[in-house]
Amino acid sequence: MANNTADHPSGNSVAEGNHDGDFGCTVMDLRELMELRSGEAVTKIQNTYGDVQGICRRLKTSPVEGLSGNPVDLEKRHTAFGKNFIPPKKAKTFLQLVWEALQDVTLIILEIAAIISLGLSFYHPPGGDSDLCGQASGGAEDEGEAQAGWIEGAAILFSVIIVVLVTAFNDWSKEKQFRGLQSRIEQEQKFTVIRKGQVIQIPVAEIVVGDIAQIKYGDLLPADGIMIQGNDLKIDESSLTGESDQVRKSLEKDPMLLSGTHVMEGSGRMVVTAVGLNSQTGIIFTLLGAGGDDEEKKVKKAKTQDGIALEIQPLKSEEGVESEEKEEKEDKPVKKVNVTKKEKSVLQGKLTRLAVQIGKAGLIMSALTVIILILYFVIDTFGVQQRPWLKECTPIYIQYFVKFFIIGVTVLVVAVPEGLPLAVTISLAYSVKKMMKDNNLVRHLDACETMGNATAICSDKTGTLTMNRMTVVQAYIGDTHYRTVPEPEVLNPQTLELMVNCISINSAYTTKILPPEREGGLPRHVGNKTECALLGLVLELKRDYQPVRDEIPEEKLYKVYTFNSSRKSMSTVLKNTDGSGYRMYSKGASEIILRKCSRILDASGQPRAFKPKDRDEMVRKVIEPMACDGLRTICIAMREFAGEGEPDWDNEAEILSELTCLAVVGIEDPVRPEVPEAISKCQRAGITVRMVTGDNINTARAIATKCGILHPNEDFLCLEGKQFNQQIRNDKGEVEQERLDKVWPKLRVLARSSPTDKHTLVKGIIDSTVGETRQVVAVTGDGTNDGPALKKADVGFAMGIAGTDVAKEASDIILTDDNFTSIVKAVMWGRNVYDSISKFLQFQLTVNVVAVIVAFTGACITQDSPLKAVQMLWVNLIMDTLASLALATEPPTESLLLRKPYGRNKPLISRTMMKNILGHAVYQLVIIFTLLFAGEKFFDIDSGRNTPLHSPPSEHYTIVFNVFVMMQLFNEINARKIHGERNVFEGIHRNLIFCSVVLGTFALQIIIVQFGGKPFSCTALTIDQWLWCVFIGVGELLWGQLITAIPTHRLKFLKEAGHGITKEEIPVEDLNEGTDEIDHAEMELRRGQILWFRGLNRIQTQMDVVYTFQTGQTAVPGALRRQPSVVSQHNDAKTVSSPTHVGISSSSLSANSAVAAAPPASASSSTAGN
């Protein structure tokens, strides 16, 4: 196969590009053309256009020079063929979010109760005021007070509205942030095109039909196109077809390149023929977007079907897991889609369990309260006082029951920490925003918090630990080992000429060295860094690579074997000018190329035999010393093919042999100066750093020692990929976990590793059960082949600068500066999120325990909760919403890196926290009950106990309420520390949000008490009473010091709460149990978190898309619904014989962006089901 190049027309069509008039083909022509595959497409091109050049001529573009870039021309192309932009799904409006927040069960119960209370307060039955109804009616001071019964109901409604608006606003801002993040990721994606003969990078959205795009290994194609020229081009089209095999592209057989597919090998150029909604990806989106309305209804139905109290699932914007359960509920007969799900993040699992436990306790307490109140009232009224039930008294009795019911619901409202999802969301959103500044672009919210639990980091070497600025520092040329780059005069001119040609031609023509951007700066390296180092060597030898390339443009290259991870070499074949035979230039890892060399150039530039013993000597004397200096060794070689017949180019083993070695060079990639410090921080924080690299073992060991991954005199393992595989595989070549468990704990460096080795190692560490807790592994990667490992890892970091699109797609966090220190920052933020949630829980649960006990016992003893419904809601608001704001935005400190990771099974609420919660609860309860039963004597005021139904608020109960709030306020300061630190004020000035929330709450409390009146059941207090309230509040801080003094290890009886899922509970790869576990939890969790829905029934859609493409239908009626924002979730959908059951591997679940898909309209409408 010759190098696929279409012959060029002699004229250059840039000039034509500016002609007026329409183009030679319409959008529909091109769309029809792009829907054809392989042979059909080739035939169609030949019949209609002649060849690819014909298409270029009709699109008025030049295959060599590209478009002119003239704004008028570009605008015309936009009008004719559309823009390369797929409009995102409409965001939910604020009103929709309000409606969703109103779906909360507890709020609905409160609303109903409030409305009944309102209704009854306006209903005055005849004769209802007679004595017969017992004490129920008495006690109203005057007619005006009795009329004020509606206030309580109205106030409850008002506070419900506040809670709903706050929730909706939070959801709205979260959605907005998420979209901002999404668009930032999309804006940062650039692509290489040729305009006016210049190779430039433009944002993907600016690509137009007729552009000539350069494509290379690792690219994600942004538009549809037809190949003009290609070297060994292989594409992964699984995201469109579901076929996992790579498709080889060539002009003769299959020149069609589709958007959303990944270039897995090779390079080339294509003419863009369809963009945006007209591209294949866009067409799918249009199909998906077709049935938006029915789908909305479906979602609603799915949403309201199951629901008890509260929901903590705002973290995962795209969790394919819930979609399955919903799908199960929607249509039962559908075959189970077997999905190896990416499990919930550690924190989510713990929070879900904790919330369910608290919810159950709250329900029991509130039910008990209501039952006791009603029984007491009934026994007292009809039993003790022996009154008959009179018809006209019924509304008054009902009013009492409603009041009891409201008290019960309020107990539930206070018991349930609905501030928890809010705290998690605020904390994550805040962290994500701040992490942007630390060069971490977080793509999946929960990755941020998982990172805090990381116990192992598997890092690449090149670019992450090193600067990725390669330079040749040593060379072995003509039997001489030069320790520095030699002067050109000392080299044989013939050898030098061959080296310059070999380096200039046998490298991607997109790799260049450009002059520095500013005076005195370093030259800019563009493209592959190793090739840049070699081009730099050519420049240092006072030669230039550009004239060589101009003489032999890319079109003249006969065949190119591009670099890939299995070859670890690159070769380019040229046809000799006189037509007799061929010449091939090769370069690659020295041990690989030298094995294929049979000759070597000597000092005089003549080839001499190079036997295996010569090779061993060279490895010993040249390559190993270079590697021990931390250099990467590259061998440059060539081969002449003489004779008549053409060699069999597909037989690579045969072609890549009998080479002549020209030179071996040592390339240095200096360690980033800040890396050793960052790695020692990780080690102090209990995180093991491992280096996984493709370099040889000596280089890897040298760099690992410089970084501090290896320390002298420690017995750690450094293995090569081959040894690693021998140690972990059995005789059949299968990986055995027991064998792996013997290797990984000591392994620190894995050299000469293939992408599969990396994946095996990561999977092995994650699945391992050695040690107390399961490991949480972070992985860095930049190449296309790192995709599987990045997906498998708990957190995948892709490189923002050097990373390929495929790697970014598979990752959770993108490092915008490719620097290892940013990973340490991510760990710090992750731990901070975890601690923020714990701080919030410590504060929240203290309040919950106290409020519930006070409401419960108060109600049982005095038939009336000392804290009224409205007051409870206010307490709930400050506890939940405002405290979550205050405690969730604490900035991280370096001290977070001084402790070991929490691990998966460490409970959310530690013994120390439990000690704090119970300790403070005791203080608060003693104070509240003292005030409740003896406060009137202490303050010399009227008792507020046993007041009739609509009596005015008493000073007594106002003081109880005020003291309660003051204690919470000061306890909020205590809650800033969770590890038993004494100084709770440390760093408080750095957190402005915290200070403003505390002061703001204090100000609001003054307003409520002094001017709240009837709605808040408060009367104004005197200055003395206020000072006492504040004094009791300050007592919290002193009491906190006392609690800290008690050693936790003495308190063995304290239980921890909020455990992770222990090993025994993890079901053995059995999905039914798996969903079951999630089901209990999720069923009892609160609705109303939008991002959660995005995952709804994605799997269904993916199956539909795959099916549509395989059957070649343009649309299956009603089968395809809403759109994902980028269809590049390379769904590893392995399609099984018939499309009724598709196994989709985990990578398709942790998709890239907020993706929503819908349940099928009916069983018949889709692939699943029939």
Active-site annotation, residues = 460
To which residue do tokens 């209609």 refer? 48
Please say whether the beta carbons of 1142 and 1135 come within 8 A: yes
User: What is the chain's length?
Assistant: 1170
Instruction: Mention every residue, 6+ apart, whose C-beta is less than 8 A from residue 274.
Output: 27, 30, 31, 34, 81, 209, 223, 224, 225, 259, 280, 282
Residue 347's SS3 state is helix
To which residue do tokens 């690449």 refer? 460
Residue 608's SS3 state is strand
Q: Please work out, in degrees rounded to the nearest 5, the angle formed at the alpha carbon of residue 474 by the alpha carbons of 471 and 477.
A: 120
Q: Please work out, in degrees rounded to the nearest 5, the angle formed at the alpha carbon of residue 184 by the alpha carbons of 182 and 185.
A: 65
Kind of pairing between the strands at 262-274 and 440-442: unpaired
Instruction: Mention every residue, 6+ apart, whose C-beta is less than 8 A from residue 949.
Output: 136, 137, 139, 140, 149, 396, 399, 400, 403
* Count of alpha carbons within 13 angstroms of residue 1064, beta-carbon side: 1
* Count of alpha carbons within 13 angstroms of residue 737, beta-carbon side: 8
Please say whether the beta carbons of 757 and 724 come within 8 A: yes
CB-count exposure of residue 105 (10 Å: 0-12, 13-18, 19+):
middle
Whole-number Å distance between alpha carbons of 254 and 284: 22
Dihedral sign for Cα atoms in the order 238, 244, 246, 252: negative
Tell me the two tokens of residue 769. 């059960």
Whole-number Å distance between alpha carbons of 996 and 367: 37
Please say whether the beta carbons of 220 and 805 come within 8 A: yes
* Count of alpha carbons within 13 angstroms of residue 130, beta-carbon side: 13
The closest alpha carbon to 299, from 1073, 1097, 874, 929, belongs to 1097
Tell me the two tokens of residue 1013. 């009146």
E strand or H helix that includes residue 996? helix 992-1011
Whole-number Å distance between alpha carbons of 851 and 871: 11
Residue 40's SS3 state is helix
DSSP 552: S
Residue 966's SS3 state is helix
Instruction: Mention every residue, 6+ apart, whose C-beta is less than 8 A from residue 922.
Output: none
Residue 320's SS3 state is helix
C-beta neighbour count of 291 within 10 angstroms: 20
- Rg of the chain on CA atoms, in Å: 36
Amino acid at 801: I
Q: Report how far Cα 684 is from the mean position of its chain's Cα atoms.
A: 26
To which residue do tokens 């280096």 refer? 691
E strand or H helix that includes residue 931? helix 911-939
The four Cα atoms 255, 261, 264, 268 give a dihedral, to 10 degrees, of 40
314: left (phi over 0), alpha (psi -120 to 50) or beta: alpha
Amino acid at 93: T
Tell me the two tokens of residue 243. 């076929």
Kind of pairing between the strands at 440-442 and 813-815: antiparallel
